[in-house]
């Protein structure tokens, strides 16, 4: 199994996924499936998320990141119970890479219906701003609903029942990140805004404010993702590659340094914590790769614990242990294949 030698990112109008006609929904789903199979990346319009919701999200991100560092650190992610809050520059480090030139605020599925028993599913740590919680929360809910629509489309693309994924995405470990790449006067220096990686979850819904995202094709070339008006960038993650038995592919990507301030807002769409991630029964394999089953939440937590400094420190001092059978970083997708080649 290998990536194609794509030179551009498919652009798809998904408004047909909301159509009453199954024929129309299937038509759009087939387009999604081709992009997920050949590239692992696509851009979508016709998604139904209003400009006002997107503007509100961007406005609150700007306001928060303008605060002094000591103010932002009051909401440091390391003091949360569900891995939510402020992420300072240098906190994350992906496999084989240096520290990323960015800061972020992570917002999780705000699970308060019962006592917290999983490390990634609990009450979100919000900053001390009612407007932030209102506008960011509204965007999160709208983007999560878009994710449900895409899950239905991907199911149809695989020849499955449209609601196949609905039963495993009731309280998902889906995280929205507000990422800030500060203005850098020296963008030529060999330090990426974010290092090369595949995403851990099923797929990502990304709202960027500037260019800078690059995708690795089958020739080993980095392809720029253009900024398209009113479009979201969608990319396949590790878990949907596994669920699809390799028919959809998780593609390595990075953010190059740019000479302007940049914001990016990825929503990482995942399944419920206890979901067993394995090839869906009846789907033939694509290629020779065999996927070992993993637990959704345990996999996400293990990958996160190996990436974030505050969790790595707890691993090193013995106060935290990885779940049994935890996989190393870049265990699926293009990163895995490159390492094994």
**pLDDT tens-digit readout, 60-78:** 999 999 999 999 999 999 9
**Euclidean distance between CA atoms 120 and 133, whole angstroms:** 19
List the one residue out of 74, 69, 59 whose CA is nearest residue 90: 69
Residue 39 lies in a domain: yes
- Domains identified in the chain, total number: 1
- Write the pLDDT tens digit of every residue in 138-169: 999 999 999 999 999 999 999 999 999 999 99
- Write the pLDDT tens digit of every residue in 29-56: 999 999 999 999 999 999 999 999 999 9
Residue 98 lies in a domain: yes
Residue 267 lies in a domain: yes
- 3-state SS string for 235-301: EECHHHHHHCCCCCCCCCEEECCCCCCEEEEEEEECCECCCEECCCCCCCCCCCCCCCCEEHHHHHH
Residue 6 lies in a domain: no
- Write the pLDDT tens digit of every residue in 223-232: 889 999 999 9
**Euclidean distance between CA atoms 324 and 327, whole angstroms:** 9
User: Which of the two residues, 136 and 94, has the higher pLDDT score?
Assistant: 136
Strand partners, 106: 85, 177
Residue 306 lies in a domain: no
Q: What is the CATH number of the domain that holds 143?
A: 2.60.120.330
Alpha-carbon Rg for the chain, nearest whole angstrom, is 19
Residue 325 lies in a domain: no
pLDDT at residue 190 in the model: 47
Pairing verdict, β 262-269 and 253-255: unpaired
Residue 74 lies in a domain: yes
pLDDT at residue 172 in the model: 96
**Euclidean distance between CA atoms 161 and 231, whole angstroms:** 27
Residue 227 lies in a domain: yes
Supply the range of the domain harboring residue 55: 11-295+330-340
pLDDT at residue 41 in the model: 94
């Amino acid at each position: 199994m290998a990536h194609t030698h794509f030179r551009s990112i498919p652009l798809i109008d998904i408004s047909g996924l909301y159509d009453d006609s199954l024929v129309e929904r299937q038509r759009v789903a087939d387009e999604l499936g081709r992009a997920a199979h050949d590239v692992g990346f696509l851009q979508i319009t016709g998604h139904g998320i209003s400009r006002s919701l997107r503007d509100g999200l961007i406005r609150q991100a700007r306001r928060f990141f303008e605060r002094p560092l000591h103010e932002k650190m009051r909401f440091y992610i390391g003091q949360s119970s569900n891995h939510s809050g402020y992420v300072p520059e240098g906190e994350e480090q992906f496999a084989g890479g240096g520290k990323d030139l960015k800061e972020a605020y992570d917002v999780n599925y705000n699970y308060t219906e019962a006592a917290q028993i999983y490390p990634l599913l609990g009450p979100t740590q919000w900053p001390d701003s009612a407007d932030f919680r209102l506008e960011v929360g509204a965007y999160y809910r709208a983007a999560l609903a878009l994710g449900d629509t895409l899950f239905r489309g991907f199911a149809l693309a695989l020849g499955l029942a449209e609601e196949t994924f609905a039963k495993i995405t009731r309280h998902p470990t889906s995280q929205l990140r507000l990422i800030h790449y500060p203005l850098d006067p020296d963008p030529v220096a060999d330090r990426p805004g974010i290092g090369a990686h595949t995403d851990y979850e099923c797929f990502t819904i990304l709202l960027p404010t500037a260019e800078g995202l690059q995708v690795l094709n089958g020739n080993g070339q980095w392809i720029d993702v253009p900024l398209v008006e009113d479009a979201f960038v969608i990319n396949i993650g590790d878990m949907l590659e596994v669920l699809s038995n390799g028919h959809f592919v998780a593609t390595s990507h990075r953010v190059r340094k740019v000479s302007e301030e940049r914001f990016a807002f990825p929503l990482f769409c995942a399944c419920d914590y206890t979901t067993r991630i394995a090839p869906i029964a009846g789907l033939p394999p694509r290629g020779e790769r065999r996927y070992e089953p993993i637990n959704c939440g345990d996999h996400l937590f293990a990958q996160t614990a190996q990436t974030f400094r505050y969790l790595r420190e707890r691993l090193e001092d013995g106060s935290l242990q990885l779940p049994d059978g935890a996989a190393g970083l870049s265990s699926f997708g293009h990163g895995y294949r490159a390492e094994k080649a």
